[in-house]
Amino acid sequence: MAGRKKDTTIRGFVALDLDTVSVRRIARVSDRLRMGSGAPSAAWTPAAKLHLTLKFMGELLLDSAAPLAKAIGKFVAGKEAPRLGTFGLDAFPSVAEAEVVVAELSDPFGDVAALAAAVAKIANKHGCPPETRPFRPHVTLARLKRPYDARRWLRPELAGGADGCSAAAVALYRSDRTEDGATYVSLGRWEYETSGG
């Protein structure tokens, strides 16, 4: 809202954090792309910031952050981690006019989409507007300096090894803008129990 003061709102998002092994796998894909022939000028996501966004909140009222975190934690508690599919390379808005390069999740079981829908419902109850775009589960790898035809660059084989990934936790983050992009501050993180199998 126009009348909201900057210090009463935060930029926030709910993320599905991958486990350490999975982050390494996605980071290797990112490295292959960055060092590959035809790689354009881009701002690359560091491994420590790789995540799958479930719900982005442009402006979240500061007073809503704690109740939202509590509600998400209550929802995640005791639930099994969503089953993940394989990651493939894609770009937004399109590969032919790429601006953002992503590792997009196939989500064959629909677990991640169902989790995102549940999180969105909780967020809406805490004042976050509904998302108008369809949910596409992905990890952002790079933001290109200018639109680029990436059809030759984003070869499917470069995503090799980005399968068998696992989710570690759901987290609510505050995103603080910095000169280098953004710093993520955890406002709540709820780990899934590992089944060992």
pLDDT digits (tens, 9 = 90+) for 123-173: 999 988 888 889 999 999 999 999 999 999 999 999 988 888 999 999 999
User: What pLDDT was estimated at residue 130?
Assistant: 87
Does residue 115 lie within any of the structural domains? yes
Does residue 186 lie within any of the structural domains? yes
- What confidence tier does 60 reach under pLDDT thresholds 50, 70, 90? confident
- What confidence tier does 179 reach under pLDDT thresholds 50, 70, 90? confident
- How many whole angstroms separate alpha carbon 51 and alpha carbon 71? 21
Does residue 2 lie within any of the structural domains? no
Number of separate domains in the chain: 1
Does residue 3 lie within any of the structural domains? no
Does residue 196 lie within any of the structural domains? no
Assess whether pLDDT exceeds 50 at residue 107: yes
Full domain range(s) for residue 182: 10-191
Task: Supply the angle between the helices 62-76 and 111-125 in degrees, to the nearest 10.
Answer: 140
Percent of the chain with pLDDT over 90: 75
Both tokens assigned to 189? 């993180």
User: What type of residue is 19?
Assistant: D
User: What pLDDT was estimated at residue 194?
Assistant: 66
User: What pLDDT was estimated at residue 69?
Assistant: 95
User: What pLDDT was estimated at residue 147?
Assistant: 97
The residues, ordered by sequence, that sit 6+ positions from 6 with a Cβ below 8 Å of its Cβ are none
User: What pLDDT was estimated at residue 2?
Assistant: 46
Assess whether pLDDT exceeds 90 at residue 38: no
DSSP letter for 79, please. Answer: P
Does residue 158 lie within any of the structural domains? yes
User: What type of residue is 180?
Assistant: D
Assess whether pLDDT exceeds 70 at residue 42: yes
Does residue 103 lie within any of the structural domains? yes
- How many whole angstroms separate alpha carbon 12 and alpha carbon 176? 9
- What confidence tier does 20 reach under pLDDT thresholds 50, 70, 90? very high
User: What pLDDT was estimated at residue 127?
Assistant: 86
- What confidence tier does 99 reach under pLDDT thresholds 50, 70, 90? very high
Assess whether pLDDT exceeds 50 at residue 76: yes
Query: Where would I find the H helices in 43-140?
Result: 62-76, 111-125
- CATH of residue 82: 3.90.1140.10
